[in-house]
Amino acid sequence: MAERGIEVDHSSVHRWVIKLVPLFEKAFPRRKRAVGKSWRTDETYVKVKGHWKYLYRAVDKQGNTVDFLLRAHRDKGAARRYFEKAIDRNGEPETITVDKSGANLAALEALNAGRPTPIKIRQNKYRSDRPNHCCIKWICSIVAIGIGGLPVLAIG
């Protein structure tokens, strides 16, 4: 707005964000493509504002991102919150493939306990088709240090 000669106080921008973000959250899921019924999930850690966080992420067979969630801990509660959010936004999958993480298995078993048709859970320690987190970590490092003329941003 400064480019157009309009001065705006930071509190005005903050009020706009508070007002408009809920509208964006309602509009974006309507435009999201449908995902497949077989998900591959994994978690990795990324540094956000100097603290390590766990990034939960799932992709379908075509490699489309189902959902993601940043959490401070890697435990049953965090995994359950992630799966509840992903299922709520994208519908119930037929199969979820996870690594040998006990937290993911415990969370999915707890979710299946209350369902009439349980989700099939597959565990595999070394999945070649699991989500590739290398690209995400590379992007985060570029944004964090400002390579290539990108401004230095705080992620999260």
H-helix or E-strand spanning residue 78: helix 76-90
- Answer yes or no: is 107 within a domain: yes
Tokens of 65: 């991102």
The pLDDT, as a whole number, for residue 32 is 66
Cβ neighbour number for residue 40 with a 10 Å cutoff: 23
Look at residue 138 and tell me if it is in a domain.
no
> Domain of 127?
38-131
- In tens, the pLDDT along 115-131 reads 888 899 998 876 544 55
Mean pLDDT of all residues in 56-74: 86
Tell me the CATH number at 78: 3.30.420.10
Choose among 90, 96, 101, 85: nearest CA to 118. Answer: 96
Q: What is the pTM of this model?
A: 0.64
Q: Is 49 left (phi over 0), alpha (psi -120 to 50) or beta?
A: left
Residue 109 domain flag: yes
Share of the chain above pLDDT 90, in %: 12
